[in-house]
Amino acid sequence: MGGHACGARVHEALANAFSRRGLAYEVPFFFPTVGEYAPLVEAAGMRVTYATLFDRPTAQVGPDGMANWIRMFVRRPFDGMDSAEAEGIVSEAVAELRPTMLRDGTWFVDYTRLRMRAVRIKTRMSILGKFNLNLC
């Protein structure tokens, strides 16, 4: 899943473009750290056995790859916005990202991935329950 700072440069560029118009921008995703997510998994009755957070720059297809990625994945901040204003914001963000996210003609999104392995905790009651034992 997306981890802490996934798409951070893209979201920063969008926040800048929104801000120039006097609009607020909030990242519409939950991108947790290992430390934030592991307790949630454990609270659901699992035991985390492995967790890692790593960068995975992800290539986009075509010369409009970044704009297409924004249009596809970042919809909520644009809800109810005039389409011309939305396209202006996307264009400004893409222009800001061009120097760092376009490499040799290919757009990259700065993905960060959170990979985790967890196992269900077997309690004494769940193990005994398999045998239909009456413990009272």
> Domain containing 100 — which CATH number?
3.40.50.150
64 in a structural domain: yes
51 in a structural domain: yes
135 in a structural domain: no
Q: Which bin fits 91, alpha (ψ -120 to 50), beta or left (φ > 0)?
A: alpha
Range of the domain at 109: 8-129
The pLDDT-based confidence of 124 (bands split at 50, 70, 90) is: low
The pLDDT-based confidence of 122 (bands split at 50, 70, 90) is: confident
134 in a structural domain: no
Beta strands 112-120 and 106-109, pairing class: unpaired
pTM for this predicted structure: 0.84
3 in a structural domain: no
The pLDDT-based confidence of 133 (bands split at 50, 70, 90) is: very low
State how many domains the chain has: 1
31 in a structural domain: yes
82 in a structural domain: yes
Mind listing the pLDDT tens digit for each residue in 66-97? 999 999 999 999 999 999 999 999 999 999 99
136 in a structural domain: no
